[in-house]
């Protein structure tokens, strides 16, 4: 029983991070109808910025604190996102969607290859931004391991999610964002500065990706130039499952993906014990392929996801 509770908490904390990243995908898609392929790589940049910032902070004697480092990553990633949008996506606004997708792939590859060039393909240790403590009371009495860092991650992610929902629902910018995702031309005619909305959306989404990168690094203790693929894929599937373009859907999708992955991994342990331990190792190898398989199945069976709307083409 405790075991499943443990898996559930692990899954929820993972799911929160995935939800954060999924939001970036879904917001950008809503506003630009573009799958920002480079989103996962912005996450990677956020993680490395955090590593670098932590190094510099330690150098200057500033305490390496989570609330200090994370905003740095988020700000840098927001700026990066704005630059990418301006250079690579804006000129192709009127081009067929495929052209923007190719460009997005180009940007993603660029970030990954430059990362590999400058940082080497190996993994870099991620600094400990939070303590290693766990809630001893629960650990001793129930064998239930809840780490403080996980709690902080979960709490800050929830905070960001709530903040984003607030922005989307209650601010003028959020309203403008929603207008542009429904009909950019009409929004323009209503006096909405579409370019600024798109820039702002990119900034927001990329900031969230940066935050996600920092938290991913904290959770798994390492970062490497290709780390963006895994969370990127999971978050994309989450966004599609929730209905791409739908903000609450992305959040729900993220949590579903996090919990599902943790539960599947957990289930494979007892199954692996039954069939011989090879299956567990094989399981993790096949995980990325599984992610794609799930994506393809969702696209084929229910492309509009849980909350999305199916838009048939007008003849």
Span interacting with other proteins, options 114-122, 132-140, 197-205, 254-262, rule CB under 8 A: 114-122
Q: Segment contacting other proteins (CB under 8 A): 64-72, 97-105, 175-183, 204-212? A: 97-105
* Partners of 125 in beta bridges: 222
User: What is the Cα–Cα distance from 37 to 165, expressed in whole angstroms?
Assistant: 23
Q: Which of residues 207-226 bind other proteins (CB under 8 A)?
A: none
CB of 116 to other proteins, least distance (A): 7
Give the count of residues interacting with other proteins (CB under 8 A). Answer: 40
For 62, the token pair is 């500033």
- Tell me if 97 contacts other proteins by CB under 8 A: yes
- In whole angstroms, the minimum distance from the beta carbon of 29 to other proteins comes to 9
Is 114 one of the binding residues for other proteins (CB under 8 A)?
yes
141 versus 285: smaller Cβ distance to other proteins: 285
Residue 315 lies near other proteins (rule: CB under 8 A): yes
Q: Is 83 in the site for other proteins (CB under 8 A)?
A: no
Among 2, 62, 109, 267, binds other proteins (CB under 8 A): 109
Binding segment for other proteins (CB under 8 A), chosen from 63-71, 106-114, 152-160, 200-208, is 106-114
Q: Which of 68, 79, 88, 269 binds other proteins (CB under 8 A)?
A: 88
Residues lying near other proteins in the complex (CB under 8 A) = 34-35, 88, 91-92, 95-103, 105-110, 112-114, 116-117, 236, 282, 285-286, 288-289, 292-293, 295-296, 299-300, 303, 313, 315
């Amino acid at each position: 029983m405790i075991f499943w509770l443990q898996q559930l908490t692990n899954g929820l904390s993972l799911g929160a991070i995935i939800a954060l990243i999924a939001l970036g995908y879904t917001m950008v898609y809503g506003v630009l109808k573009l799958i920002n392929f480079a989103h996962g790589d912005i996450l990677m940049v956020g993680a490395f910025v955090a590593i670098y910032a932590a190094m510099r902070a330690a150098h200057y004697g500033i305490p390496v604190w989570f609330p200090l480092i994370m905003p740095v990553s988020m700000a840098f990633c927001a700026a990066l996102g704005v630059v990418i949008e301006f250079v690579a996506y804006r000129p192709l606004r009127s081009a067929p969607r495929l052209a923007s997708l190719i460009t997005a792939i180009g940007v993603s590859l660029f970030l990954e290859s430059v990362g590999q060039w400058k940082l080497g393909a190996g993994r870099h240790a991620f600094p400990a931004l939070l303590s290693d403590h766990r809630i001893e009371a629960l650990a001793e009495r129930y064998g239930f391991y809840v780490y403080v860092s996980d709690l902080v991650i979960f709490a800050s992610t929830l905070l960001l999610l709530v903040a984003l929902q607030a922005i989307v629902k209650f601010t003028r910018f959020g309203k403008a964002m929603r207008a542009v995702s429904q009909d950019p031309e009409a929004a323009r005619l209503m006096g909405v500065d579409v370019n600024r909305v798109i820039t702002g959306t990119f900034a927001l989404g990329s900031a969230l990706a940066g935050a996600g990168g920092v938290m991913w690094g904290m959770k798994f203790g390492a970062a490497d130039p290709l780390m963006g693929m895994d969370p990127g894929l999971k978050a994309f599937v989450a966004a599609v499952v929730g209905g791409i373009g739908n903000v609450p859907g992305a959040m729900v999708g993220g949590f579903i993906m996090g919990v599902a992955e943790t539960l599947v991994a957990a289930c494979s342990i007892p199954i692996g014990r039954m069939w011989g331990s090879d299956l567990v190792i094989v399981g993790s190898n096949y995980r990325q392929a599984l992610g794609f398989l799930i994506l393809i199945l969702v696209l084929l069976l229910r492309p509009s996801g849980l909350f999305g709307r199916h838009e048939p083409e007008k003849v």
